[in-house]
Amino acid sequence: MMSSVELITNVEQLSADDLARWNELARNPLQRWEWLGSWWRAYQGDYRLCVLKIKRQDEIIAFAPWCLQSRVGTGKTIQFLGSGKACTDHLSLLVADGDIDDACSAVARWLAHSADPTENAGEQCLLWDAIELIGVDRSDRTMNTLVEAMQREKLDVELADGLGCYAIDLPATWDEYVRMRSKSGRREVRQSLKNIDTGTVRVDRVENQQQLEAVWDHFVALHQRRRHASGTTGCFDHPPFDVFLRDAASQLLDAGLLELIIATNDGVPVAAHFAIVDNDRWYFYQSGMDPDAEALRPGLSMFCHAIRQSIETGRTTFDMMRGDEPYKLRWRAELMPAQEIRVCSPRRSAQLRQQVVKVGVTFKNLVKSGLGIGQPQS
């Protein structure tokens, strides 16, 4: 039997049973409602909800966790919940392995039909001009299947390399990990943990909502001080981000999925480490450090502590998330390639809009290249 698609445009349309099924289908904590729902509550003023619920008879087999943003360049653009400043990684359709083909075919078919409402009068449609899906693992079978299904529906799909994540495949013991490091790396690890093991730096893990409330401002201040000291802005300079992450932290803590660790020296907070976790993986999301405490190297100590804690709790992967910062290779992390998926609606107005954007980007690149275009002639 062909699967059906229901468009969800309001959170109130998602029942408690729907959200329980959502979390059941999520393959990692970043796909769960604790994370994506918190993002929606903070950012909904800039987006429209357009979650797709895919059903086979009365059984929910999948969700497409999407929203819609109106942009000057690409028009009405579908993207993942959790996009933008949150930089959520490992995003995908939420679906069990056995239902991937059916769910992806249903979503692709719905997108193709929805793009042309003149042929589907009376059907539940969503006018869209473009799709931009970022934070997708290149190895994700579900998203690759969706790409193939959209291409079968004659949708204009473009794939590009994305900014990948770096992750450490953790060995069974901490000693094995230390042996993986170079000679200087082993020395760095031992020196970094010495401050913690001797009590010079005290490490406290947030265990309940009262503790979360007590340390939150310290965590934000440490993150901001570290960013501002390096001459860059911090995420918390954008007010909705603070609303989002504070809400997400509370939700994740209740679900047993949060690792928020604060390091203090003589009772003064000097470093912080924010991670999302499940039984197998530690997702390092954010950190902070007091630049005035740099001599203690508390950030490095916290990072070593987090990796050791991951191994001792039986996790198999320490995920450093998106970004190609050089320090990640020093920790023996390996690249997990990502891709960006962009689709243009078959509607003529959307196709014209895409051509205008492409011409504009091409012209700008030519000017930057110094080939003389747009330059005064001598």
Q: Which domain holds residue 208?
A: 171-315
Please indicate, yes or no, if residue 368 is contained in any of the structural domains: no
Predicted pLDDT at 353: 83
Predicted pLDDT at 378: 31
Please indicate, yes or no, if residue 21 is contained in any of the structural domains: yes
Predicted pLDDT at 136: 98
Predicted pLDDT at 124: 66
Residues 210 and 206: their CA atoms lie apart, in Å, by 9
44 residue type, one letter: Q
Residues 104 and 52: their CA atoms lie apart, in Å, by 11
Q: Do 110 and 199 fall within a single domain?
A: no
Q: Do 263 and 220 fall within a single domain?
A: yes
Q: Do 152 and 243 fall within a single domain?
A: no
Q: Do 115 and 261 fall within a single domain?
A: no
Predicted pLDDT at 47: 96
* pTM of the predicted protein model: 0.91
Q: Do 271 and 311 fall within a single domain?
A: yes
User: Domain count of the chain?
Assistant: 2
Q: Do 145 and 206 fall within a single domain?
A: no
Q: Do 141 and 185 fall within a single domain?
A: no
Alpha helices in the chain (DSSP H): 16-25, 33-43, 100-114, 141-152, 174-180, 183-197, 209-229, 239-254, 298-312, 327-330, 348-369
Q: Do 141 and 244 fall within a single domain?
A: no
Please indicate, yes or no, if residue 371 is contained in any of the structural domains: no
Predicted pLDDT at 88: 97
- Sheet architecture: strand order including 94-95: 4-8, 51-56, 59-64, 94-95
Residue 282 tokens read as 């530690």
Q: Do 105 and 248 fall within a single domain?
A: no
- Torsion 144-148-153-154 (CA) sign: positive
Predicted pLDDT at 366: 44
Distances (CA, A) of 193 to 3, 179, 186, 262, 284: 54, 15, 11, 15, 18
Predicted pLDDT at 362: 53
260: nearest Cα among 309, 194, 325, 315:
309
What backbone torsions phi and psi does residue 250 show, to the nearest 5 degrees? -65, -45
Q: Do 175 and 246 fall within a single domain?
A: yes
Distances (CA, A) of 174 to 200, 331, 347: 21, 13, 56
Predicted pLDDT at 371: 44
Please indicate, yes or no, if residue 359 is contained in any of the structural domains: no
Please indicate, yes or no, if residue 363 is contained in any of the structural domains: no
131: nearest Cα among 106, 104, 112:
112
pLDDT of the chain along its 378 residues, tens only?
688 999 999 999 999 999 999 999 999 999 999 999 999 999 999 999 999 999 999 999 999 999 999 998 899 999 999 999 999 999 999 999 999 999 999 999 999 998 775 655 445 678 899 999 999 999 999 999 999 999 999 999 999 999 999 999 999 999 999 999 999 989 989 988 999 999 999 999 999 999 999 999 999 999 999 888 888 888 999 999 999 999 999 999 999 999 999 999 999 999 999 999 999 999 999 999 999 998 889 999 999 999 999 999 999 999 999 998 888 988 999 999 999 999 999 888 888 888 887 776 554 554 454 544 444 333
Please indicate, yes or no, if residue 325 is contained in any of the structural domains: no
- What CATH code is carried by the domain that includes residue 51? 3.40.630.30
Provide the CB-side half-sphere exposure for 146 (13 A, CA). Answer: 29
SS3 state at 162:
strand
Q: Do 124 and 39 fall within a single domain?
A: yes
Residues 319 and 326: their CA atoms lie apart, in Å, by 15
